[in-house]
Chain A
Amino acid sequence: MGGIAVQVDHVSKVFGDRYALDDVSLDVPEGAFLSIFGPNGAGKTTLLRILATLSRPTSGSVSIAGISCKDDPDAARDQIGMISHSSMLYADLSAEQNLLLYARLYGIDSAQERVDEMLEAVELSHRRLDVVRTFSRGMTQRLAIARALLHDPQVVLLDEPYSGLDPHAVEIFDSLLDSVREGRTFVMVSHDLRKGFEACTHALVLARGAKVAYAAKDDIDYQAFSALYRDTVGMGVS
């Protein structure tokens, strides 16, 4: 503990002649929970996709757990788990088949035991043989957590994970996140200012691809922060 889990160094991403990200730099300490806020088109998801190694920055560099995503993307990917509004689960495979697939791809020793353990942790053992297509949105999202944490990643990326969840499912999702929070660093993109701020230890506001504000929660006055956020959202997209 005490190191930098996620390092973003002068990252820009250009689509055509439009800057989706414009010279963004930040360090996220180990064990932190960073919430990223901003209006639609601010570059939040672009930044998250770059952190996940799903997209390459046009310039600048990113390190995950001290590993350069450019120099050793595979080692960086070993440290990353991602939970998105898409479950990344095959709808026509069972819960168990989905987790076994990922466990084998990650090369987890005793894959079956690990899958059993994760299904137990997300309380889906009783539905292990059911195809994901038959799951409710909340159950699918719980299984997505199991998928993302299967290989015990140090950095967990969350892309609007509450999207489409009912209040009860949000409660379950939150308690599951709490139970796995220790020793991990979280980066979450959220449109929900209250929830995002509640969960975070650090907050980042993006607008038009640029960093507007980045600070530890302890240094932020919520009223001033929400006013800044409202002003930023009012800026719209580039």
Chain B
Amino acid sequence: MPGVRTRKPSLFAHYKTLLAKDLQREFRTKDMLSSMAIYALLVLGVYGEAPSQTGRQFEIRQMSGGLLWALIVFTSLLGLNRSFSYEKENGCLEGILLVPLDRSVVFLAKATSNLVFLLAVEVVVLPLFSFFFLTTTNPAPTWPMMLLPLLVGTIGIAGIGTLLSTITVNTRGKDVMLAVLFIPLVFPLLYACASATTVVVAGGDIEGVFMNSVLLAVGYDLVMVLRSWVLSDFAVSA
């Protein structure tokens, strides 16, 4: 067999290749997207039905931030649980780790693909959420600003969730383990994003509560995503 010429690819080239692999796989199977989307739609159905059985009038606008973020967190758990399971199937992760590459790139590519999948599900779910819960309740004119906490929160969830799914993929009862670690860890982010969302939907102090909550969420993202990236080498190699 003739010698093969190789040139060490850049970090970005490795990142692009790994990200393309995840997108290619999901494009073919639609496993994560379909399961997350179906789950989110079912939860929306439950949300729609449950308050109607209470026999009282709810001020749904006040609850909308919490409802939306509960929906996002639990839907993302479903996807995150699967994201590294695919890498373990057939020892694929070991195959990738045999390649001379910076192992944090594996984390970055996986976190990016998880972010893309979460955003894709949100693109489907958010209009439905707005249709079911906001069109009939006369939300504040600032409600489109909820896109900002949504984006910031989703970035944080994808980053931290990817690191935790890397850590828990080899544990017994990994589904429960991920939830047990993930929810307390993202609680500050969840709190900030739910507050910011509620303020823009129900109407409130945009310059005060909204901006402070978004800034808290951005700060949380910077610290935690950076920390996840630094720790990812150990988590992926373990």
Residues of chain A whose beta carbon lies under 8 Å from any beta carbon of chain B? 52-54, 73-75, 77-78, 80-82, 84, 86-93, 97, 101-102, 104-110, 114, 121, 131, 147, 149-152, 180
Contacts and interface: CB of A to CB of B under 8 A. Distances in A.
A29 to B, nearest CB: 21
A108 B95 contact: no
Nearest to A81: B98
Interface centre among B1, B4, B13, B86 (most CB of A within 10 A): B4
Given A101-B21, A104-B9, A105-B17, A90 B92 contact: yes
Given A105-B9, A131-B28, A147 B95 contact: yes
Given A88-B91, A114-B4, A105 B96 contact: yes
26 contacts: A53-B97, A53-B98, A77-B98, A77-B99, A78-B100, A81-B98, A86-B94, A87-B90, A88-B98, A89-B90, A90-B25, A90-B86, A90-B89, A90-B90, A90-B92, A91-B89, A92-B28, A93-B21, A102-B95, A106-B99, A107-B6, A107-B8, A108-B5, A109-B4, A110-B5, A114-B4
Interface string B72-115: 00000000000000100111101111111100000000000000
Interface of B: 1, 3-9, 13-14, 17-18, 21, 24-25, 28-29, 86, 89-92, 94-101
Which 5 pairs, one residue from A and one from B, show the smallest C-beta to C-beta distance?
A: A88-B95, A86-B91, A74-B100, A152-B4, A107-B9
A114 B28 CA distance: 24
A102 B99 contact: yes
Contacts of B96: 105
A151 B17 contact: no
B228 to A, nearest CB: 22
Contacts of A92: 25, 28-29, 86
A34 B171 CA distance: 34
Q: Is the interface of B mostly helix, strand, loop or mixed?
A: helix
Given A86-B94, A88-B92, A105 B99 contact: yes
Given A86-B90, A86-B91, A105-B14, 6 more contacts: A84-B94, A102-B95, A105-B99, A106-B99, A149-B1, A152-B3
A235 B33 CA distance: 51
Given A104-B9, A152-B3, A54 B100 contact: no
B25 A104 contact: no
A205 to B, nearest CB: 26
B110 to A, nearest CB: 13
B90 A104 contact: no
Contact of B92 (A75, A89, A97): A89
A91 B14 contact: no
Given A54-B98, A77-B98, A105-B99, A90 B7 contact: no
Contacts of B5: 108-110
Contacts of B97: 53-54
B90 A91 contact: yes
A121 B28 CA distance: 27
A53 B5 CA distance: 22
A96 B95 CA distance: 16
Nearest to A73: B100
A77 B100 contact: yes
B3 A84 contact: no
A97 B22 CA distance: 12
Contacts of B98: 52-54, 77, 80-82, 88
Contacts of A149: 1
B28 A109 contact: no
B95 A89 contact: yes
Contacts of B9: 104-105, 107
Nearest to A76: B100
A75 B100 contact: yes
Contacts of A84: 91, 94
A87 B91 contact: yes
B22 to A, nearest CB: 10
A108 B95 CA distance: 16
A74 to B, nearest CB: 4
B6 A105 contact: no
Nearest to B95: A88
